[in-house]
Amino acid sequence: MIDIKSPVRVRFAPSPTGFLHIGGVRTALFNWLFARHYGGQFLLRIEDTDEKRFVPGAADDLMTSMRWVGIDWDEGPDIGGPFGPYVQSVRNEQGVYMPFANQLLDAGLAYMSFTTEEELTQMKAVAEARGIKAFRFRGPERDWPLAKQQEMAARGVPYTIRLKVPSEGSTHFNDLVRGGEDGIRINNNELYDIVLIKKTGMPVYHMAHLVDDHLMQITHVLRSDEWVASTPYHVLLYQYLGWNAPTFAHLPPILRQDGHGKLSKRKDDVSANRFWERGYLADAMFNYLTLQGWSYDDHTEIMTRAEVVERFSIDRVQSSPARWNPAKLLDMNGIYIRAMSSTDVAVAITPFLQKAGLVPTPVDSKTAAYVATLTPLIHERLKELGEAPELLDFFFSDIETPSAETLIPKKMDAQSTHTALVAVHAALSAVAEWQGQEATLEATLRTLCEQLELKPGQLFGAVRVAISNRTVAPPLFETLTALGRERALARIAAALGVVAP
């Protein structure tokens, strides 16, 4: 059992470079769960130090995605907080980072590097040509006196500020989920002098996130697995700055469905907003994501938010990768949909019906009532709310008269189908009031089956196709009454024309 000291402060710090994808949501979720379980704070910070990849609106989009899944934050760009602002570009404008870079410069733990990117690639190429397997950049200026560096800078030569990484020894850190008891150790000669401040004056991730984590009093860093390789730099930076490092926990990656590589928003259709667009329930997504890299025991899967918060522990976070499994998510979504009341489902599917043009916007009370009567017919058949329009469209709009091919049931021909449908039309016409008379209608058609010596499957099938122009539809008699006597009879009449002799 890992002992976590309260109070904890954790954060999710995405960079606004596009839609938030499922992997990002999972990282945010685990941080949130950690904070809520241990009664600490969870904050959101926007890391927009990459001017080139910045996408306008991405920060808002990502907050929408997080809220959708049910992740709220105690401090953040939109709500502020005692350690704000929570956007790095703004913090940089306020001069948050430079003093610390200067502190390192003064202490001789960082240096101004005048080596250009071109020169660097050149140096790499030369090293490679000479057979040096792994080129680890250490700037020639690292041994210059600070005065000489400042002199160059004063002449207007562009420079970056690089961390002076030791060439010898090793750097070690512990991780709550990986590396075992001994933690992770890396030889310093595997490291290179990373850039802390770009020549534009903008801090790089390593610098910015670390300063912010310290200033914002972050106690635990739960982040994606891809950061373990750069954690040694962070450990070094904490030492150089004289700060205590937070506790690290690197979360397992979510691999693509084929297991080849991490989930990526470019190659995989996994941006969070895609899921609510298709009719995934936030609760289902929450529950599914919870299980990507964490488990409670050997059999419990369906859990409420409160239960997960109560049960979450970092000990049970998996160190091996999870794999994106849409089929499992789909199944879970179905479970959550079935757990809803039909009234709630009716409300939930309405936007999808509107989007499909089946229902007016705003929806009038009469249509809303109709949707409510239709919903029970498809409720348990729904795995994505977005499937509702295709399941219900024939209730809202005219159908194409079915072809003879789809209309004629198994082991029957046009002649017998025609005879059957004529009989159906007559028998059904004889029932004057259909409202609530599903049983009467059923009895009527079953009697007809006996008279015509047909199996229910055959006769019912023909009627189903006649009224819906589809072979798969909701239960027949509920469909009939929901459609209404007049429309249903008209459709049957139209259909029997198709198989007329």
Active site residues: 265
Question: Which one of 6, 94, 320, 435 is in contact with RNA (CB under 7 A)?
Answer: 320
Q: Which is nearer to RNA, 313 or 368 (CB)?
A: 313
H or E stretch at 232 = helix 231-241
Question: Which one of 174, 325, 437, 440 is in contact with RNA (CB under 7 A)?
Answer: 325
CA angle 60, 63, 69 (to 5 degrees): 145
Q: CA gyration radius for the chain?
A: 32
CB contact set of 9 (below 8 Å; sequence gap of 6+): 35, 40, 41, 43, 216, 217, 218, 219, 220
Output the DSSP codes for 303-360: --HHHHHHH--GGGB-SSPEE--HHHHHHHHHHHHHHS-HHHHHHHHHHHHHHTTSS-
Site for RNA in 467-496 (CB under 7 A): 471-477
Q: Which is nearer to RNA, 116 or 444 (CB)?
A: 116
State the chain's maximal CA–CA distance in angstroms.
106
Question: Which one of 214, 305, 323, 487 is in contact with RNA (CB under 7 A)?
Answer: 323
Question: Which one of 57, 82, 95, 117 is in contact with RNA (CB under 7 A)?
Answer: 117
Site for RNA in 152-181 (CB under 7 A): 158, 160, 178-180
**Per-position x/- string for 127-146, each x denoting binding to RNA as judged by CB under 7 A, each - no binding:** ------xx--x---------
Q: Which is nearer to RNA, 160 or 469 (CB)?
A: 160
Q: For 15-26, b where at least 16 C-beta lie within 10 A, e where not — what string?
A: bbbbbbbbbbbb
Q: How far is Cα 219 from Cα 41, in angstroms, rounded to an integer?
A: 10
Q: Tell me the two tokens of residue 434.
A: 């259909």
Residue indicated by tokens 């600490």 = 40
Of the listed pieces 32-40, 189-197, 213-221, 393-401, which binds RNA according to CB under 7 A? Answer: 189-197
Question: Which one of 5, 53, 267, 355 is in contact with RNA (CB under 7 A)?
Answer: 53
Q: Does 341 bind RNA (CB under 7 A)?
A: no
Site for RNA in 415-454 (CB under 7 A): 442
Question: Which one of 3, 6, 39, 52 is in contact with RNA (CB under 7 A)?
Answer: 52
Question: Which one of 20, 71, 165, 184 is in contact with RNA (CB under 7 A)?
Answer: 184
Question: Which one of 322, 340, 388, 498 is in contact with RNA (CB under 7 A)?
Answer: 322
Of the listed pieces 71-79, 214-222, 328-336, 367-375, which binds RNA according to CB under 7 A? Answer: 328-336
Question: Which one of 80, 108, 261, 497 is in contact with RNA (CB under 7 A)?
Answer: 261
Q: Tell me the two tokens of residue 441.
A: 């209608």
Q: Tell me the two tokens of residue 311.
A: 């049960």
Site for RNA in 69-108 (CB under 7 A): none
Q: Which is nearer to RNA, 103 or 174 (CB)?
A: 174
**Per-position x/- string for 191-220, each x denoting binding to RNA as judged by CB under 7 A, each - no binding:** -x-xx--xxx-x-xxx--x-----------
Site for RNA in 354-413 (CB under 7 A): 380-381
Q: Which is nearer to RNA, 2 or 79 (CB)?
A: 2
Question: Which one of 335, 414, 423, 431 is in contact with RNA (CB under 7 A)?
Answer: 335
Q: How far is CA 166 from CA 160, 238, 250, 393, 496, in A?
A: 18, 14, 25, 68, 87
Q: Tell me the two tokens of residue 89.
A: 């570009």
Q: Hey, is 431 helix, strand or coil?
A: coil
Site for RNA in 272-301 (CB under 7 A): 291-293, 295, 297-299, 301
Q: How far is CA 129 from CA 120, 133, 191, in A?
A: 14, 9, 21
Query: Total residues contacting RNA (rule CB under 7 A)?
Result: 88
Sign of CA dihedral 171, 174, 175, 180: positive
Q: How far is Cα 285 from Cα 291, in angstroms, rounded to an integer?
A: 10
CB 285 within 8 A of CB 20: no
Q: Which is nearer to RNA, 180 or 242 (CB)?
A: 180
Q: Which is nearer to RNA, 195 or 281 (CB)?
A: 195
